[in-house]
């Protein structure tokens, strides 16, 4: 689901790198405000590796199977580390699997990492009613669906407006709508999946969702 080298014109590539540079810089500033920014690095990196690996899990959708992008979930779990995490993950996909590319790294990171931050923003609405599992599930769904939905929208908009030289504007718009509509089932699956994982984490390890760590239970005799 990322753009390989050689396809986009150089202006788009440069814009992608500029956007990615700006968002990375801003993310790093936000991370720097934390108490001990170094402490977050091993966590964010191992989770980045875990997300990289988890995106290899295939969801059966007969007659084929799809793999999830999980950028919504990544935003929810990693917060401001999400953007650097996407950048690092995409770098490795580009150099290890030639999936994506070095020149398109900026564009791809912006297209996948931007929606991840948006999902983080959506999920933070949880503060309104922190005790509600329903709200957590719904926000997880919205974050997951919006994450992949906006990524798909941006990708196709980029591809269709930049590649074929002569297609009229109306046809371009129709094509974008059609392609995005075709991905609605994927958005639903990704949304449901994200909600499920979020509820799982809430049950098992709420710290991963930014909750304070519960004091260890001490047996009183």
Partner 1 sequence: MKTSLDGYSHLDSPLHRWEPRLKLIGLLALISAFAFVRELYLLPAMLAAALALLLLSRLPVRFVLRRLRYPGIFILALAVILPLFSGETVLLSAGPLALHQEGLLEFLVIAARFAAILAVGIVLFGTAPLLTNIRALRSLGLPSLLTDMMLFTYRYLHELATDLRAMQTAMRLRGFRAVKPDARSLGGLASLSGSLLVRSYERSEHVYRAMTLRGYGREPRAPEDRQITPRDTAALLCTLTAAAAFVAAEVAL
Q: Provide the minimum distance between the beta carbon of 63 and partner 1 in the complex, in angstroms, as a whole number.
A: 11
Residue 64 phi/psi, 5-degree rounding, is -130, -160
Q: Is 138:174 a contact under the CB 8 Å cutoff?
A: no
Asked if 178 touches partner 1 (CB under 8 A), the answer is no
Establish if 111 lies at the interface with partner 1 (CB under 8 A): no
Nearer to partner 1, 85 or 142 (CB): 85
Judged by CB under 8 A, the residue of 28, 135, 138, 154 near partner 1 is 28
Q: Nearest distance from residue 159's CB to partner 1, in Å? A: 10
148, with CB counted inside 10 A (0-12, 13-18, 19+), is: buried
Per-residue contact track with partner 1, 3 to 22, x per CB under 8 A?
-xxxx-xx--x---------
Count of residues near partner 1 by CB under 8 A: 68
Sole window of 108-116, 120-128, 131-139, 204-212 interacting with partner 1 (rule: CB under 8 A): 204-212
Q: Taking Cα atoms as reference points, which of 121, 128, 129, 133 lies closest to residue 206?
A: 133
The answer to whether the CB of 194 falls within 8 A of the CB of 141 is yes
Q: Two tokens at 147?
A: 């994450």
What distance in Å separates the CA atoms of residue 172 and residue 178, rounded to the nearest whole number?
Answer: 10
Residues of span 182-201 touching partner 1 by CB under 8 A: 189, 192-193, 196-197, 200-201
- Joined tokens for residue 156: 């196709």
- The residue among 219, 199, 200, 155 whose CA lies nearest residue 4 is 155
The site string for partner 1 over 80-99 (x = CB under 8 A, - otherwise) reads ----xx-xxx-xx-xxxxxx
Q: Is 215 in the site for partner 1 (CB under 8 A)?
A: no
Q: Which residues pair with 58 in a beta bridge?
A: 67
Sign of the CA dihedral running 61, 190, 213, 47:
positive
Smallest gap from Cβ 132 to partner 1, in A, equals 20
Which residue's CB is nearer to partner 1, number 131 or number 204? 204
Beta-bridge mates of residue 59: 66
Residue 38 or 221: the one with the smaller Cβ distance to partner 1 is 38
How far, in Å, CA of 17 to CA of 200, rounded? Answer: 36
Residues that bind partner 1 (CB under 8 A): 4-7, 9-10, 13, 24, 28, 31, 37-39, 41-54, 56-57, 59-62, 70, 73, 77, 84-85, 87-89, 91-92, 94-99, 101-103, 163-167, 189, 192-193, 196-197, 200-201, 204-205, 207-208
């Amino acid at each position: 689901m990322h753009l390989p080298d050689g396809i986009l014109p150089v202006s788009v590539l440069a814009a992608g790198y500029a956007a990615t540079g700006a968002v990375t810089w801003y993310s790093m500033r936000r991370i720097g405000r934390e108490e001990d920014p170094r402490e977050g690095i091993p966590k964010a990196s191992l989770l980045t590796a875990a997300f990289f690996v988890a995106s290899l899990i295939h969801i059966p959708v007969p007659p084929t199977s799809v793999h999830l992008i999980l950028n919504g979930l990544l935003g929810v779990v990693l917060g401001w580390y999400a953007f650097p995490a996407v950048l690092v993950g995409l770098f490795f996909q580009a150099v290890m699997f030639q999936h994506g590319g070095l020149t398109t790294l900026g564009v791809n990171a912006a297209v996948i990492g931007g929606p991840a931050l948006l999902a983080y923003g959506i999920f933070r609405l949880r503060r309104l009613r922190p005790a509600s599992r329903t709200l957590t599930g719904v926000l997880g769904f919205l974050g997951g669906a919006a994450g992949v939905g906006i990524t798909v929208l941006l990708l196709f908009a980029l591809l269709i407006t930049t590649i074929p030289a002569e297609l009229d504007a109306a046809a371009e718009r129709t094509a974008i709508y059609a392609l995005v509509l075709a991905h609605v089932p994927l958005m639903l699956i990704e949304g449901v999946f994200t909600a499920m994982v979020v509820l799982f984490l809430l049950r098992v390890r709420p710290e991963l969702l930014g909750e304070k760590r519960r004091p260890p239970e001490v047996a009183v005799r």
